[in-house]
């Protein structure tokens, strides 16, 4: 089975929750998507359980970027992941 290795960068409150700046993730699913990665993060890190996905959508309190590009919060299952990808989990941009 092929595996996909990716780096997940954490910012803001998620970083304080996990107390890490990044997480290395290995996905063994075939054709993994951003939704798979987020579900996996929730499973592996209890601090993130329920903090990323709700009914398959990305929660409104988190913004997910794949290689710096915004992931549609309504359809994370449509965004495929490739080896070497970086996911950034940031607070949504408010203020400024």
Partner 1 sequence: MSELPSVYGGEILHVDLESGETDRERIEPEDARALLGGNGFAAAQVHEHVPPDADPFDPANVVVFAVGPMNATPFQSTSRGVVGFVSPMTNGFFDSTFGGTFPRAQKTTGFEAIVLHGEAPELSTVCVDEEGATVSEAEELAGLDTYETCEAVREREESEDESDVHVVAAGPAGENRVRYACLVHRGRDREGVAGRGGSGAVLGAKNVKAVAVREGSFEPEVAEEETFRELTMSRMQPLMEETEMLQEYGTSGLVNPVNEMGKLGVRNNQSEQADPEFAEAISGETLKEEYVTEDTTCANCAVRCGKHVSVQSEGMTQAKIPEFESLFGTATMQAVDDIKRVMKANDLCDRLGMDTISWGVTVAFARECAENGLIDADDSAHLEFGDADGLVELARQTAAREGIGDELAAGSFRLAASLPEKAERYLHGAKGLEFAAHSPRGLKGMSIGYATSTRGGSHHDTRPTLQYGGEHAETTDGTAEFAARSQHFTALGDSLTQCRFVSEGGWGKRIGDRYRDALQAATGWELTTEDVETIGERIYNLERLINVERGVADRESDTLPHRVLHEPIPDGPAAGMHCPPDELAAMLAEYYAYRGWDEDGKPTPETLESLGLDERAG
Among positions 25-84, residues that touch partner 1 (CB under 8 A) are: 60-61, 63, 65, 67-70, 72
Binding partner 1 (rule: CB under 8 A), the pick from 29, 42, 57, 90 is 90
Return the range that interacts with partner 1 (CB under 8 A); candidates 10-18, 28-36, 40-48, 49-57. Answer: 10-18
CA-wise closest residue to 81 among 25, 21, 9: 25
Nearest one of 65, 69, 35 to 53, comparing CA atoms: 35
Is 91 a residue that touches partner 1 (CB under 8 A)?
yes
For residue 63, give the nearest of 7, 5, 9, 24 by alpha carbon. 9
| Measured distance CA(38)–CA(48) in Å, rounded | 9
- Give contact residues for partner 1 (rule: CB under 8 A): 9, 11-13, 15-16, 60-61, 63, 65, 67-70, 72, 88, 90-96
């Amino acid at each position: 089975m092929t595996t996909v290795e990716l780096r997940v960068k954490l910012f803001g409150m998620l970083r304080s929750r996990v107390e890490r700046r990044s997480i290395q993730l290995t996905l063994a699913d075939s054709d993994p998507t951003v939704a798979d990665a987020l579900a996996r993060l929730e499973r592996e890190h209890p601090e993130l359980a329920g903090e990323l996905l709700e009914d398959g959508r990305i929660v409104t309190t988190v913004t997910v970027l794949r290689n710096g590009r915004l992931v549609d919060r309504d359809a994370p299952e449509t965004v495929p992941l490739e080896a070497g990808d970086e996911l950034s989990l940031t607070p949504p941009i408010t203020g400024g």
